[in-house]
Amino acid sequence: MNIVLFGPPGAGKGTQAKILTQTYGWPQLSTGEMLRAAVKAGTDLGKKVDAILAKGDLVPDDVVIGIIGERYDQPDCRSGAIFDGFPRTIPQAQALDTMLADRKRRIDVVLELKVNDAVLLQRVEQRIKDSGGVARADDNPETLKNRLEVYYKNTAPLLDYYRKQGKVVTVDGMASIGTVTAAIAKTVEAKKS
Ligand code: AMP
């Protein structure tokens, strides 16, 4: 299956993507993790996107579409993938639809993790505390504010794009991790059969 995990920063997409990977084997394709790895490795791509990530702005569509296309063609994505943090704009979603259609595949479900802003801020503050001072460069309350603004302006409109395709299933992302996992598993099992 091909699943899009959708929601604002801190909604739990990464956590749930990893659980889905463990349970079903579909790899987690996180553009954020790929970009952070490029920054860490100091590649040309990393140098290009470092400042953008630190500010919480969006990397250009052609860059992320390129890295997703390359990653999706790896053999471990043959039975599907979990898209985490991609797509984030309408052109990205259209490019993803085209890429999958070219391979005779499609998005099976878009799982929206719904969490309110106050809880997101609390979670990022907790993530900073838990990291013991080595938090992600963009995990601070100020950058989170920008990441949320970018989310509502550029990414949230994608929900309508996918609603029109009848693909959105909304899950209460403020429930416990186990409860969210169970809700997702129920949807995935129903779609699989
Ligand atoms: P994430 O780990 O998903 O929160 O992503 C971290 C950062 O990487 C974002 O704030 C953006 O700067 C960048 N990024 C990740 N995915 C995308 C995407 N699909 N489109 C544009 N920028 C992205």
| HEC-encoded secondary structure of the chain | CEEEEECCCCCCHHHHHHHHHHHHCCCEEEHHHHHHHHHHHCCHHHHHHHHHHHHCCCCCHHHHHHHHHHHHCCHHHCCCEEEECCCCCHHHHHHHHHHHHHCCCCCCEEEEEECCHHHHHHHHHHHHHHCCCCCCCCCCHHHHHHHHHHHHHHHCCHHHHHHHCCCEEEEECCCCHHHHHHHHHHHHHHHHC
Quick one: pLDDT at residue 178?
98
Instruction: State the pLDDT confidence band at 132, using cuts at 50, 70 and 90.
Output: confident
CB of 176 closer than 8 Å to CB of 183: no
pLDDT at 84: 98
CA of 60 to the centre of ligand 1 (A): 10
Mean pLDDT calculated for residue range 182-187: 98
In the predicted structure, residue 35 carries a pLDDT above the cut 80: yes
pLDDT in tens, 67-80: 999 999 999 999 99
How far is the centre of ligand 1, averaged over its atoms, from the C-alpha of 27 (Å)?
Answer: 18
List active site positions: 13, 88, 127, 136, 147
155 lines ligand 1 (CB under 6 A): no
Quick one: tokens of 113?
């993790």
In this model, does residue 152 exceed pLDDT 80?
yes
Quickly name the fold that domain 2-27+74-115+167-192 has: Rossmann fold (3.40.50)
**137 alpha carbon – ligand 1 mean position (Å):** 12
- Which of 59, 124, 142, 153 for mutating ligand 1's site (highest number of atoms within 8 Å of CB)? 59
Residues 176, 57: Cα–Cα separation, whole Å: 29
* Percent of all residues in the chain with a pLDDT value above 70, rounded to a whole number: 99
For residue 137, the model assigns a pLDDT of 80
pLDDT band at 140 (very low <50, low <70, confident <90, very high): confident
Is it the case that residue 135 has pLDDT exceeding 80?
Answer: no
Supply the pLDDT for residue 174: 96
User: For residue range 111-127, what is the model confidence (pLDDT) as tens digits?
Assistant: 999 999 999 988 888 88
Question: Which has the closest alpha carbon to 89: 159, 187, 192?
Answer: 159
Q: What is the pLDDT of residue 130?
A: 86
7 in contact with ligand 1, CB cutoff 6 A: no
Give the ligand 1 atom nearest the CA of 35: 8
Report yes or no on whether pTM surpasses 0.85. Answer: yes
Indicate if ligand 1 lies below 6 Å from the C-beta of 59.
yes
Q: So what's the pLDDT on residue 131?
A: 81
- Nearest ligand 1 atom to alpha carbon 57: 12
* CA–centroid distance, residue 97 to ligand 1 (Å): 19
Is the CB of residue 8 below 6 angstroms from any atom belonging to ligand 1? no
For residue 134, is pLDDT > 80?
no
Residue 133 has pLDDT above 90, yes or no: no
Task: Show me where the domains of the chain are located.
Answer: 2-27+74-115+167-192
Mean pLDDT of the chain: 95
Asked if residues 169 and 112 have their Cβ atoms less than 8 Å apart, the reply is yes
